[in-house]
Homo-oligomer: A and B are copies of this chain.
Amino acid sequence: MTASALDTLDTPAAVLDIDRMERNIAAMQARIDAHGVRFRPHVKTSKCLEVIGAQLRAGAHGVTVSTLKEAEACFEAGIDDILYAVGIAPAKLARAMALKRRGCRLKLVVDNLAAADAIVAACRAEEDRFEVWLEVDTDGHRSGIAPDSDTLLAVGRALRDGAIPIGGVMAHAGSSYELHTEAALRALAEQERAGCALAARRLREAGIDCPGVSVGSTPTALAAARLDGVTEVRAGVYVFFDLVMHNVGVCALDDLALSVLTTVIGHQPDKGWIIVDAGWMALSRDRGTSKQSRDFQYGLPCTVDGTPIDGYLLVSANQEHGIMAAAGDAVPCNPADVVARFPLGTKLRILPNHACATGAQFAEYHAVRADGALAVWHRFRGW
Contacts and interface: CB of A to CB of B under 8 A. Distances in A.
Contacts of A281: 66, 360
A300 to B, nearest CB: 17
Nearest to A284: B285
Interface string A350-371: 0000101100111100000000
A90 B98 CA distance: 50
A323 B277 contact: no
A360 B285 CA distance: 11
A114 B344 contact: yes
A363 B344 contact: no
A124 interface: no
Interface residues of A, number: 58
A280 B344 contact: no
Interface in A290-345: 316, 318-321, 323, 343-345
A67 interface: yes
A342 B342 CA distance: 54
Given A44-B320, A319-B356, A263 B88 contact: no
Interface of A is mostly: loop
Interface in A82-123: 86-92, 95, 111-112, 114-115, 118
Interface in A48-103: 66-67, 86-92, 95
A129 interface: no
Which interface residue of A174, A280, A362 has the most chain B CB atoms within 10 A?
A280
Interface stretch (A207-215, A225-233, A247-255, A265-273): A265-273
A23 interface: no
Given A11-B91, A44-B320, A174-B318, 6 more contacts: A12-B383, A86-B265, A88-B265, A89-B345, A281-B360, A319-B357
Given A357-B280, A381-B363, A382-B363, A265 B343 contact: no
